[in-house]
Amino acid sequence: MHDTNHIGEIMTDKKANQQNEEETPESKQFEVGDLAVYPAHGVGRIEAIESRVVNGETHDFYILKVLENGMVIMIPTNNVASVGLRDVISEDEIPKVYDVIRKEKDSPADRQTWNRRYREYMDKIKTGSLYDVAEVFRDLYLLRMVKDLSFGERKLFDTATTLLLKELSTARGTDEKTIMSEIESLFPDITED
C-alpha cells in the first residue's frame, strides 16, 4: 500500500517550486531503480512507475521510496520539475557543498527570533537544493555552539543533517560517519570560555 497523502500536495503545489535553479523545459525522466532526491525528504529509489486514475484522468506516477525512513511518495511523472524531484548530486559537486558550509554567514542568525529563523530555514529545506540545506546545517551548527536551539530548530538541524549526510554519502559511495567527519573538519575550532 502506498502513502498517497502526498498526491494532493503534489497536484496542487505545481507552481511552488517553479524557481528551481536548473529547471529545463523537458522534465527529467527516471527509470525504476534510479536514485532521486525529493525536497525535504531526501534520497529515495524509484521503486515503480504506475498509472492511476485521478479526477477521471489517467496519470503516470513515480513511486519513490525514501531511503532514510521507507516513506513511499507518489510523484506525477509530468510534474517532476515543478515538485523539485532531481538527481543526486554528482561527486564533483561535493566540494561546492563543502564551500557553502565553510562560508561565513553575512548576518548572524542569532539576532533573529527563533520563529523567524525557523520559517526561513524551513523554506530553504523545502527548495530541495542541497546547497540550501547545507546553509541551514551550517547556520544551526554554529548557532548551537553559542546558544541552546529551540525545539523546532533542533528538529530542523536534525532534518538538515540527515538530508545532507544521506545525499553526500550516496554521491560519494561512502558511509555517513565519514561524511560527518569531513563536515566537522570544515568548521573552525570553537573553544568554550
Contacts for 193 with CB less than 8 Å, ≥ 6 apart: none
| pLDDT at 189 exceeding the cut of 70 | no
Q: Residue 156 is placed in which grid cell?
A: 530542523
Choose between 163 and 187: higher pLDDT: 163
Tens of pLDDT, residue by residue over 23-42, are 343 567 999 999 999 999 99
Least confident interval from 7-11, 25-29, 37-41, 162-166: 7-11
Choose between 147 and 188: higher pLDDT: 147
Domains of the chain as residue ranges with CATH: 5-83 (2.40.10.170), 91-184 (1.20.58.1290)
pLDDT at 27: 61
Q: Residue 58 is placed in which grid cell?
A: 489517467
Choose between 6 and 184: higher pLDDT: 184
Q: Residue 15 is placed in which grid cell?
A: 507552481
**Could you tell me what percent of the chain has a pLDDT over 90?**
66
Q: Are 61 and 49 in contact (CB under 8 A)?
A: yes
pTM equals: 0.80
pLDDT at 26: 53
pLDDT at 55: 92
CB atoms within 10 A of CB 149: 17
Choose between 110 and 176: higher pLDDT: 176
What span, in angstroms and rounded, lies between the C-alpha atoms of 170 and 88?
8
Q: Are 190 and 143 in contact (CB under 8 A)?
A: no
pLDDT average, residue stretch 77-91: 93
pLDDT-derived band at 118, boundaries 50, 70, 90: confident
Helices (H), the chain: 5-12, 80-83, 94-102, 114-127, 130-146, 151-172, 176-184
Choose between 121 and 3: higher pLDDT: 121
Q: What share of the chain is helix, strand, coil (3-state, %, to 5)?
A: 50, 15, 35
| pLDDT at 20 exceeding the cut of 50 | no
The mean pLDDT value of the chain amounts to: 83
pLDDT at 87: 96
| pLDDT at 155 exceeding the cut of 60 | yes
pLDDT average, residue stretch 92-98: 96
